[in-house]
Structures are given as structure tokens and as C-alpha cells.
Amino acid sequence: ISKKTLYQYFNTKAELVESIMLNHLNSEKDMCCNLVNEVENAIDQLHEIFKFNMQMMRSINPSTIFELRKYYPSVWKHFDQHKNQVIYHSVLENLKLGQKQGLYRTDLDPEIISRLYTGRMELIVDGETFPTTKFSFLQIMKELFIYHIRGIASEKGIKHLETSQSYFE
């Protein structure tokens, strides 16, 4: 598509970037909802979302995230809203489900854990904390997944995780 044709639909590059971001976030929301509806086990739900995120992140250059944050802060706000609403709510529901299924500890506070989970997302994309020259996104996500599950899982959940370690093979 030529620039001329593109600018018939978008007045500025920022509008184009915003449209792409909103489309991506809506697609991600729909995909996660579908995954959650297809999988009953709370830990397996998180694993499916992990796999989806890994596929998505493989196609994104790490500098893209930096550039979005720096040059398009109004567009980045959509990601923050998505994180603080959609992802927060999804994690909260997953925690409640896992507690009901006996896979997660009943003594944890789902609201606090959901906020911790969404808050640490900033660390994942922080190039200073996790330089791409030293850590792959796959490494970070794998450790984060195991760290998260082991922190919230009951004995039953830990057993399920240990029998499902093929998640990462």
C-alpha cells in the first residue's frame, strides 16, 4: 500500500500506530478469552496464555516497545489501560478459579496477586532490567511462569506443574 493511500485513512502516523495498537489489544483480549473458555484447569489456562504471548512476542522487535513508549506515549497509554483492566481482571478470575479448583493456595489474596502480576509486566519489557543481549524473552517468560505458579500453587497445583514440566520442552 502506498503512503498516499494510507493517508487517505489516517491523518498522521500516530493515528495509524494507535489503530494498530488497539487492533492488537482487541485481538489479544479475544484470544485470551477463547483460551480460557477452552481450558478448565487454571494452571493450564495460564500456560496456554503463556504460549500465546510467546508466539506474539517472537514477532515483535524489542526496540518496538521502547519506541512506542518514547515516541507514542498516548498510544502506550492504551497498553497500560489494557494491562490494568483486561489483564488484571483475567488474572483475578484465574486466581479465583485456581483457588476453587484447589490448585492455588486459599490463603492468598487474589486482588493483591493480580496487581503484583500486572505491575511486574513493566519489568519484562524493561531493557535495563533484562537486557536483550543477556536474556531472551523466552527465558524471562519461562522463569516468570514457574516463579508465579510456584508462588501461588497449593500442593495439588505444584504436583500438576511438576507432572506438566513438558510445558517447556
For 122-168, the pLDDT digits (tens) are: 777 777 788 878 888 778 888 888 899 999 999 999 999 888 765 55
Report in angstroms the alpha-carbon separations of 92 from 35, 64, 84, 98, 125: 16, 29, 11, 10, 22
What is the mean predicted confidence (pLDDT) over 54-61? 72
Q: How confident is the model at residue 169 (pLDDT cuts 50, 70, 90)?
A: low
What percent of the chain shows pLDDT beyond 70?
Answer: 94
Distance CA 21, CA 15 (A): 10
For 17-37, the pLDDT digits (tens) are: 999 889 988 988 888 888 888
Residue of higher predicted confidence among 6 and 63: 6
Distance CA 28, CA 139 (A): 21
